[in-house]
Amino acid sequence: MDHSAHHTDTTHGRTPHAAHAAHGHAGHPGGHAGASWSTAVKATLHCLTGCAIGEILGMVIGTALGWANVPTMALAIGLAFLFGYSFTLFAVIRAGLDLRSAIKVALAADTVSIAVMEFVDNLIIALTPGAMDAHLADGLFWSALLGGFAVAFLITTPVNKWMIGRGKGHAVVHAYH
């Protein structure tokens, strides 16, 4: 998606986000109202990618080391947040933000999305009979994990659409594209 038009504002004294909001979003002048499903899907896939890498890595490490369920899930959730934030963090640093500002943008952009995704995904895993005790070689381990991601994606996408439509969540990242 080309956001180069968002950087042509010649009004002085505006922050990038304020300039972005003045141009509108998804074809709606003056704001983010009416964020498209396409935008929400892209934001959710972006979030899901980081979350999936972190969560799979955490589950694999915890399971391979023979850890109990709670520390394994804590590691997986922690790594999901770390990788989820890092995708946004590195993107906005590449766009020219300093580290402190980039961290603020990543936290604002991804916290709710990652939290919803992790809650739903881990709830699916916890509610799937036998999934918490499955081993890496078990199909149940992978089907519960991947099934949880699929359900989390379906639930998080409308959340992201709602947030983006209000100029929150992943919408703050668009000012830096």
8, pLDDT greater than 90: no
Q: Would you say 131 and 59 are in contact if contact means Cβ atoms under 8 Å apart?
A: no
Say which DSSP state 31 is in.
S
Task: Give residues with Cβ within 8 angstroms of 5, minimum separation 6.
Answer: 23
What confidence tens digit (pLDDT) does each residue in 57-73 have?
Answer: 998 899 889 899 899 99
More confident residue, 171 or 22: 171
Please report the pLDDT score of residue 156 as a whole number.
94
Per residue, what are the HEC states of 145-171? Answer: HHHHHHHHHHHHHHHHHHHHHCCCHHH
6, pLDDT greater than 60: no
More confident residue, 173 or 168: 168
What confidence tens digit (pLDDT) does each residue in 76-127 have?
Answer: 999 999 999 998 899 889 989 999 999 998 998 899 999 999 999 999 988 9
For residue 105, how far is the Cα from the chain centroid?
Answer: 12
Q: Would you say 48 and 80 are in contact if contact means Cβ atoms under 8 Å apart?
A: no
Q: What percent of the chain has pLDDT over 70?
A: 78
